[in-house]
Amino acid sequence: MTTSVLRDPTAEIAALKRQRLNPPTDLDGKVVALMDIGKMRGDEFIDRLEQLFEERGIATKRYKKPTNTRTAPSEMIQQIVRETDVVVVALSDCGSCTSCSTHDLNDLDQLGIPGVSILTDEFREAFSGQCEKIGFDGASIFTPHPMQNKTTEELHEFADSVMEEILTKITHTNLN
């Protein structure tokens, strides 16, 4: 009888959880990357975030992933590293996009760009579990689920409601 050993090529187990980078003390002279993960209607949410940053005199640059079911292309990650100082990754509302956006947040953090991921409440445990598996103490903000069936006005209201928390998480005022 032959015995076969199967290995899971996707297993990720980190011995320790790495703390995220300390974000800047403030955003004066800094550029915030707004990474649209490519989910339907996420651009409307990010449109409002961009307006809110602009109203506060904070510079932003927008980036959009070609698909939410894969991590960001390395060229895009490198462009964000060259052009910005912190990142807001939005808007995850399913399992695969939560996993991929968590990896994107981790990759950027390891390259010197701290940030926060915005997800819907349904994926709180998925984000936490993914962070645990990759050994990263990532910052997150949660919005109601689902988001895709909301009106543009409702999406903007959700952006308004989390803006102060975003500012807190992407500056040194709060490292959680």
Report if residue 14 sits inside a domain: no
Domain around 48: 21-169
Report if residue 145 sits inside a domain: yes
Q: The domain that contains 152 carries what CATH number? A: 3.40.50.10140
Report if residue 13 sits inside a domain: no
Report if residue 118 sits inside a domain: yes
pLDDT at 9 over 80: no
What total number of domains does the chain contain? 1
Note the pLDDT tens digit of each residue in 71-106: 999 999 999 999 999 999 998 877 788 899 999 999
Strand partners of residue 3 = none
Report if residue 73 sits inside a domain: yes
Report if residue 97 sits inside a domain: yes
Distances (CA, A) of 53 to 25, 41, 49, 59, 61: 16, 19, 6, 7, 11
Report if residue 176 sits inside a domain: no
Report if residue 12 sits inside a domain: no
Note the pLDDT tens digit of each residue in 25-58: 999 999 999 999 988 888 999 999 999 999 999 9
pLDDT at 8 over 60: no
